[in-house]
Structure 1
């Protein structure tokens, strides 16, 4: 009894500490702080880690009208109990840059983690399948406070994490919204509502929630629920709220749901020597073919050495030089390998000896939780290091030996895993179990293509 009384006293004291704050004055200070920081935020970049968890109802269901799906979600029967079906992961570099919005939507640009340049084509050209969203990194707060929301309504005072917080609610009609949803090849502005929680002692935004209004039928989603937890970041001499974790829940008409959990790390400012490249013409990187010698000899400049290249339709075997831990890796992560045997051209000329380093990237990591449990990886070799020069490498998985072995053993068929759209120069591999490790020394056969 004494413990309960003491606990109630603690909560009462915390609430009393926040009770002296005028919600209107707090909102004014928070708004002014966000708008001021928005004008001074430098160009910066972070590593974005996304885990997408797919859930399916216990019983198979057909697509239904969204109002019915939302109602069943509030009062689920046994058939609608969700069970984990699939998990995939992504690692991206994301940058907030002050550029023309016509060039970069929302000021966010993306690349696979560790890539040499950002891609102005957009997130949907990197992530071709499954639900993905932008804006969590840079856009939500500025859009909400500066453009979309006309009125905030004081809702309540709450205690979360030992802090007394003030919560406000808001609603935005589609006519005033900058929240866009992709449906097919088109984009639609939609209305949304939500809440924002702030600390009246520090005037910091702590948490934001957003719920979409009715979505277009072509969006193949009934509702999107978003929550963002914020922390103060100090980058380039400026303090501003930056999401530490974002969760987005997509509700699908057939009762399936997908939850994206996004975290941000290694946030840093672009320094003066940093560049963002959008075209294919770039200065030679380390290991690139040398340029022409600028020093004349006998009145003539030396021509640049021809850049090594790998002809098409050459078969080779890769051997991993480091294991792939499938319970931690994500699409976008690099992998390293080497040639298991020499690579030769059609006339037998040596192009690269055995042991030549090969670098590549994972394009897909899928973990299937249902029986049979398995992991699907898509590996894309990118470059081959020939005599210190990084030579572009385009290849696909070579199934000829596997098919021949199956024919000799009189197997009735071979399961051939085909790359998805956007994985054209990649090989797809299947590994049994929920947490398999692809061991160092794992070999795979490939064939070069244009």
Structure 2
């Protein structure tokens, strides 16, 4: 399976093009000011990833991904929901498999309206989903572009063209469309395009124009299409909180004092029997969703108590691959803690009990190889509920 990693990079041309269209000048000035007003903010990004081959007309849902995305000082950052903080690292370390794109959150719009690289062509008034709009087409040559495409085997900067639609009264952006041009042969792609819709959202005491949804489609040389449908929700101002959450804070609640915990390093070859705290419903579950489980008994080593019964292991769902004849669930646990200690986990998965899995020896094929420390559970096709209390055995 091929996969795409898409990075939109803001670049500015060396020479400003003459601004002959006064309306265009007003639109660009308005959008530059609007984008500059955006606070540092964060949203929950939900991505439905689907595929279809050249012989079918209907897309088939592969999986769903949930990730926290933030715009901080003009830079996009990513983290799993429930993480302690955003980490300044390549997003490919978070999402090494499947199709995923960046740039929709802010970078494409800033490049189109804030840079000098695009050449514009007015298209007049149009109707966009029944609403009046003013359309402009634009084109950016590869030599002036910062639009970088990365696949599993290659990467290249490409040119692109597209359209944007603005409200004729307010000049607010309604939709932005970007289409890749002259894709180099080493990318092994036939086409790529991206559509972003914008809406006004309330963040704190302000009203801001932000991306609301997007759709990315990539077609390879064999005619196989990958489609990502993206929704942004639970947007709020980013304040560098220690834990990422999507619930409104309780103003009446005071800030609890941090609790000092002993850092524990677990020895190798210990068996951990974990009982799921939260049900996993494969119809609702998404990559990135937090997962919790508890130790079913005291964890001991050479007669010494390392972790008490009830200590909580936390992690995330790492895959929910939907195939015609089975569903493949993946889970990674990364931390174990109680009121008094904390330990990082690097586990190997052994087995699961209490859920109907595929019989041993049955042939099932993954879309991508297993991730480090990932436990894979092959389930029957269709909806499966992995219930609270399901037992999983892991080894350090």
Q: TM-score, normalised by structure 1?
A: 0.73
Any stretches of 5+ residues in structure 2 without a counterpart?
1-19, 245-256, 354-358
Rounded to whole Å, the distance in 2 between the matches of 1:339 and 1:418 is 29
Shift of 1:317: 1.6
Counterpart secondary structure, 2:109: helix
Shift of 1:237: 6.1
Alignment of 1:279-428 (within 5 A): 286-289=258-261, 307-345=263-301, 347-368=302-323, 370=324, 372=325, 374-398=326-350, 413=361, 423-428=371-376
* 2:164 matches 1:196: yes
Rounded to whole Å, the distance in 2 between the matches of 1:317 and 1:217 is 50
Q: Which has the larger radius of gyration?
A: 1
Shift of 1:216: 2.4
Partner of 2:198: 230
Shift of 1:183: 4.0
Partner of 1:70: none
Partner of 2:391: 443
Counterpart secondary structure, 2:263: coil
Deviations 1:326-357 (A, max 9, x none): 11221111111112233221x24332333332
Deviations 1:116-160 (A, max 9, x none): 111222211111111211100011111011225443212242223
Shift of 1:264: 0.9
Rounded to whole Å, the distance in 1 between the matches of 2:373 and 2:67 is 20
Rounded to whole Å, the distance in 2 between the matches of 1:286 and 1:168 is 53
Partner of 2:5: none
Deviations 1:25-73 (A, max 9, x none): 4422221111112333321111111111111233xxxxxxxxxxxxxxx
Shift of 1:247: 0.0
Contact 1:378 1:419 (8 Å CA) reproduced:
no
Q: Structure 1 residues 29, 238: CA separation in 2 closer, same or farther (over 3 Å shift)?
A: farther
Rounded to whole Å, the distance in 2 between the matches of 1:136 and 1:179 is 12
Counterpart secondary structure, 1:309: coil
Rounded to whole Å, the distance in 2 between the matches of 1:150 and 1:214 is 16
Rounded to whole Å, the distance in 2 between the matches of 1:93 and 1:412 is 37
Shift of 1:414: 7.4
Shift of 1:231: 0.8
Partner of 2:180: 212
**Which structure dedicates a bigger proportion of its chain to strand?**
2
Partner of 2:13: none
Counterpart secondary structure, 1:57: coil
Which moved further from structure 2: 209-218 or 254-263? Answer: 209-218
Rounded to whole Å, the distance in 1 between the matches of 2:243 and 2:309 is 36
Shift of 1:323: 0.6
Rounded to whole Å, the distance in 2 between the matches of 1:199 and 1:46 is 24
Counterpart secondary structure, 2:53: strand
Aligned-residue RMSD, C-alpha: 3.0
Rounded to whole Å, the distance in 2 between the matches of 1:213 and 1:251 is 13
Counterpart secondary structure, 2:222: coil
Rounded to whole Å, the distance in 1 between the matches of 2:303 and 2:362 is 31
Partner of 2:4: none
Rounded to whole Å, the distance in 2 between the matches of 1:389 and 1:110 is 28
* 2:88 matches 1:91: no
Partner of 1:104: none
Contact 1:228 1:247 (8 Å CA) reproduced:
yes
